[in-house]
Structure 1
Amino acid sequence: MNLALWIVAGLLAAVYLGTGITKLSYSRERLHAQMPWVDDFSTTSVKLIGAAEVLGAVGLIVPEATGTAEVLTPIAAACLAALQAGAISVHARRHETENLALNVFLLLAAVFVALGRALGWGV
């Protein structure tokens, strides 16, 4: 089970690191071309979402890999699950159904990591 948790956490970290850096580094206009939902949020909010994604990606890997403050890994995963719940809500409200399946998958993957690490499935 530990291997499965590492694989899922690694994939989630890669996704969130990529999307987070994109939100932090791209202009609002450039983001709009890929993510039209940014029209519903301030630039500051979009940047904060990006920062949360980057921090969540780091939190999925670093504490568990270093054996330092390992409790942060399930917390990071739970926070990313909450972020995805918000994303699902936004996409549903905007009728962007093409994104919902990916968002549900990311939510379930984050819940898997949160529960697995919190309950010690990887031990």
Structure 2
Amino acid sequence: MLAVMFGIAGVMKATQPKDELAARLPWAEDFSAGTVRLIGVAELAGALGLTLPALTGIAPILTPPAALTHARRREPSAIAFNAVLFVLAAFVAWARLGPYGF
């Protein structure tokens, strides 16, 4: 589910015009179109990073870091959403690397 969320967000940011994104994602207005696309590509990489290591058995220790842009912009709803994604990512990491790792 976490990889799906990263994938959807990544495709949206990597393919849609910045003006359309800024209507739904106010933070996008503060960044260049290239930076927004780069964030989208990074999110797509995060989605792949969550799925491919487990599927291939190659470097399963890799996990993507989180950004703090929303805290700086004082966007509590975005922070809450990202906190949920962080908890899901932490659970995935624990499940893969913890006592029940696979």
* Range class of TM-score, shorter chain: 0.7 to 0.9
Higher relative contact order (CA 8 A, sep 6+): 1
How much does 1:36 deviate?
A: 0.8
Match of 1:33 among 4, 23, 31: 23
| Structure 1 gaps, min length 5 | 1-10
Q: Which runs of 4+ in 1 moved over 2 A?
A: 118-123
Residue deviations 1:90-113 (CA, integer Å, cap 9, x gap): 222222212221111111211222
Please list the CA deviations of residues 39-85 of structure 1 after superposition, one character each: whole Å capped at 9, or x if unmatched: 22222211111111111111211231233x1x2x431xx31xx22xx
Shift of 1:122: 3.0
Alignment correspondent of 1:7 = none
1:121 aligns with 2:81: no
Corresponding residue SS for 2:95: helix
Aligned-partner SS, 1:15:
helix
> Could you tell me how far apart the structure 2 residues matched to 1:105 and 1:97 are?
12
TM-score, scaled relative to structure 1:
0.73
What secondary structure is seen at the aligned counterpart in 2 of 1:74? coil
Q: How does 1:103-122 map to 2 (within 5 A)?
A: 103-119=82-98, 121-122=100-101
Q: Confirm or deny that 1:12 pairs with 2:8.
A: no
Two-structure CA RMSD over aligned residues (Å): 1.7
Show structure 2 runs of 5+ residues with no match: none
| Alignment length (residue pairs) | 102
CA distance in 2, matches of 1:46, 1:74: 27
Q: Identity of aligned pairs, percent? A: 37
